[in-house]
Structures are given as C-alpha cells and as structure tokens.
Amino acid sequence: MPGVQVRSENLEAITVDVPLTRGLGRAYGDAALPAPGDTRIAGSALADRILQFNPETGDMTAEAGLSLDELYRAFLPKGWFTPVTPGTRFVTLGGMVAADVHGKNHHVDGCFGRHVSAVRLRVADGRVLTCSRTEHAELFFATMGGMGLTGHILEVSFRLARVPSPWIYQEARRVPDIDTFLAALKESAAAWPMTMGWIDCLSKGSSMGRGVLFRGRWAERHEAPADFPALNAPIPVPFMFPDGLLNVHTASAFNALIYHQPQARAGVVHPRSFFYPLDVAADWHRGYGPRGFTQYQCVLPASGGHAAVRRFLEVVTGAGGASFLCVIKDCGPEGEGLLSFPRPGISIALDLAMGDDTQALIDRMNESVIAEGGRIYLAKDALTRPDHFRAMEPRLDRFLDIRRTWDPEGRIRSAQSVRLFGW
C-alpha cells in the first residue's frame, strides 16, 4: 500500500506526528511520497490563505499550500508576480521552498529562496517555530532546497515582484549546434532577464545540440494587449496513450517541426506559453503510456566549458532516443540553500520514458555528472543511487548534521530520503 494523504484547511493540526507533508504531489520522483512502511502523510493544498500582503513593498506571508496557479490568478492582474517561477504553476509555496525552485531568470534573480524572508515550520519534536536569516539561520538555510526534510513547512514569507504588464515579450531563435547554443545563452544572459532553450536530443554529430533559444522579459505596458492573459482550465488528456506511440519517429517529426519554424520570431506572448508550456494539457504524462516517465536534471559547472556539455550530451544522444527533447539553461550563482540545486554552469533537464534501461542510463548520466563535478536536482530524481548522490554533494554531510540536530530520531522522512540517505 502506498499510503494515504490527509488534507485539511488546518495544516498545523494535520502535521502532528506525520513523517512528511506534501503540496500538490507533482514532484517527478519520490520526494513527495511516503517512505516504505509509512502509511499517512499530510497534504497542504487546502491550507492556501494569504495572511499578509503589503501593497507598497510586495511582501507576502501565506500558508504553504497556496499554489502558484492561484497566485497567478489573484495577483498578476494587480501587477505582481513571484520573482521566480518554475516550469509549472501547479506547485505550492511549500514545494517551492522545499525544492528551492529556479526559473528562466536564474542568472539574474537566483532561486525562490533568495526572495524568502522567513518560514514557519513544525519541526520533528512537534514545536512550531519561525526561521529566517537571523532566527535559527542554519535551519532556514537547510530548509531552502531541503526537500521538506527539516520540518513541515506551514507558512512562507516572501516578496512578490512588480511587473510592468502581465504579458511577456519573447524572442525565439533557431540555433544549429551546441557550441553556438552555449555562446548564445551566454551572450543573451547579459541583456535578457529570462533565457532558456530546447535541444533536440535526437540530433547527433555536427548538429548535436541544435534547437531553439528563447529569450524573454515582461512586456512594457505600451507593448502589451489591454486585456488580462486569462488561464483556461487545462485540457485533459483523457486516456493513456498506447505504449510506444511517443517514439523516436513521432518525436523526431515533432522536433523537426519545432526546429524549422521561422528563423527568428519576436513578439508579445501569453505568460502561460512562456512559463508553463506543458501545463496546457492536464495529465500530459499520459502521453508516455502506462509505464509513465521520469525526469532528470543536472547542472554542469561552468569550469568544464563547452566540452563538458558536449560530453554529457553524447551520453544522452548515445542512448538512442531515450529522451527526445531537453531543456538547457545557464545558471547564476549558487543559492543560500544547503542543498539548493543550481550553481554557475549549464543546467540540462530531460524527460525519460520509463523503460527497462532507464536505470542504466541514469547511472551513466550520473557518472558523467560526477566526472564533470556537477550535481542533480532532487525534485526530479527517482532513480539516483546513494553513492552517486554522495559523490556529487560535498554539502550533504552538513545538511544531514543539521537534520540530525533537529530530528535525531529521523521522524521526518520521504521515500527519497530513505532511498538516498538511508533515513
């Protein structure tokens, strides 16, 4: 039995004596799943009140279950948005803290944690306390990116950013190979607050790393349409696609289609299509058939240069269509979170249809990441081996020390923490 999730508007009440709290449960791996033997965890999604908002500064305190989707609807019309958004809006504030999420503007604005001033936490011994950069600071930094393992996140205080309009000005441009791509990302970072790219993982050899580069910024009021970019409910994917419908041939056709769109496109676009292209379809994972898929994301340090990225992409493309498309992004400075994922370098994220050789491919990719001195993103991980993770994370011992201080009996745990750390 995988266990049950108990949800209530009263998050404080349901986080007593449970091993884990999860938000919307959308983590790609096992970070939001109970450890083997645990039957009951708390769900924060009904605890979604804004407790304080200062319209002068944008400072907000809200319950941890507030979703980005709800914030978008309630605050983007007023000219406010979170300074950092991940690639889905179906994520809660608690989840954004736990994974210390990053977005297309990481090179400018860092992770979400940078904009968080305080977190209210139920720690393992049952106490509820507030931690910040000045109060229980070590707990605060361990909580940023700590995958919910330092305590149950009850409330988050953070600052919203003012946006000139609710629309995005975007430029999209075709890039023929990986060297050009990395140079273009670097050059774009200087002038654009938001950048990222899609790479066709089926192209090898001289066209390895070909793809489309996206650069964007919030549109100025005079450029933007007068109306609000409304969000429709996602279109459901009503049934499982048959196994193998999404295969090398269909994906290759899809990638060619994206790649061969007009050379340069620029203009004002809906923020949904810019930030959350995949949220358009609910349950889009069904496209992968009954075995589903997993994600993988790593960052390769800037010191390795283009060669490191090329070596890693050779591992990916060498797997012959295991992944069709990957997302590439240059990261800015490392965040304050003890296990926060990004560091200066190139981040690569990919979808992998689950198959018999997925574990072996992830092992190979992890070995490559270790050789380059990089690391992986826990929010997307389901299959990394403990020794591999340890080899990537010199910061792990310090994190586990803090966790042990606050939770000596290991009461707070997830399937992921037990898999990777043993408790």
Partner 1 sequence: MPLNVVILGGTKGIGRALARRLAARGDRVHLLGRDVEDLARCAADLQARMPTPSPVTFSVCDLERPETFAPAVSAAATELGGFDTFVVTAGLFATQPQLEADRAFTLRLLTVNFAHTILLCEHVRSYLLARSGGTLCVFSSVAGDRGRKPVILYGATKAGLTAYLEGLDHKFRAAGLRTICVKPGFVRTGMTEGLPEPPFAADPDQVATTVVRAIDRGTPVVYAPPIWALVMLVIRWLPRAAMRKVGF
10 burial via Cβ count (<10 Å: 0-12, 13-18, 19+): exposed
Question: How near is the Cβ of 48 to partner 1 at its closest, in Å?
Answer: 8
Using the rule CB under 8 A, is 7 a contact of partner 1?
A: yes
Cα separation, 215 vs 301, whole angstroms: 22
Structure tokens that stand for 75 in this block: 């605050």
Q: Is 354 in the site for partner 1 (CB under 8 A)?
A: no
Least separation in angstroms between CB 60 and partner 1:
8
The interface mask with partner 1, positions 43-62, x = CB under 8 A, is ---x--xxxxx-x----x--
Question: What is the smallest separation between the CB atom of 51 and partner 1, expressed in angstroms?
Answer: 5
Q: Which is nearer to partner 1, 49 or 221 (CB)?
A: 49
221 belongs to the binding site for partner 1 (CB under 8 A): no
Residue type, 311: R
* DSSP-derived secondary structure for 81-111: E-S---S-S--BHHHHHHTT---TTHHHH--
- For residue 255, the tally of other CB atoms under 10 A from its CB is 21
Say whether residue 6 binds partner 1 (CB under 8 A).
Answer: yes
Query: In sequence order, what are the residues at sequence separation of 6 or more whose Cβ sits closer than 8 angstroms to the Cβ of residue 26?
Result: 32, 88, 90, 91, 95
CA–CA separation, 42 and 115 (whole Å): 26
Asked if 130 is part of the footprint of partner 1 (rule: CB under 8 A), the reply reads no
Least distance to partner 1, CB of residue 78, Å: 7
Closer of 14 and 178 to partner 1 (Cβ): 14
Query: CB 77 → partner 1: shortest distance, Å?
Result: 8
CA dist 83 and 177 (Å) reads 31
Is residue 282 near partner 1 by the rule CB under 8 A? no
- For 212, the token pair is 């489309």
Q: Given the complex with partner 1, which of 21 and 297 has the nearer CB atom?
A: 21
CA pair distance 28, 384, nearest whole angstrom: 13
Interior CA angle at 152 toward 147 and 156, to 5°? 85
Rounded-to-integer distance, Cα 348 and Cα 160, Å: 27
- Minimum gap (Å) between residue 45 Cβ and partner 1: 10
- Under the criterion CB under 8 A, does residue 4 sit at the interface with partner 1? yes
Could you tell me the smallest distance in angstroms from the CB atom of residue 240 to partner 1?
19
Distance CA 153, CA 15 (A): 9
- Strands 128-132, 235-236: pairing kind: unpaired
Instruction: Return the number of the residue (190 or 233) whose C-beta is nearest partner 1.
Output: 233
**Site for partner 1 (CB under 8 A): which residue of 36, 39, 57, 78?**
78
Task: Count the residues of the shown chain that bind partner 1, applying the rule CB under 8 A.
Answer: 15
Q: Which is nearer to partner 1, 49 or 162 (CB)?
A: 49
- Which of 2, 9, 223, 422 is in the footprint of partner 1 by CB under 8 A? 9
Select the span of 7-15, 212-220, 337-345, 404-412 touching partner 1 (CB under 8 A): 7-15
Please report where in the chains the tokens 């009461």 appear, as a residue.
411
Residues that bind partner 1 (CB under 8 A): 4, 6-9, 46, 49-53, 55, 60, 74, 78
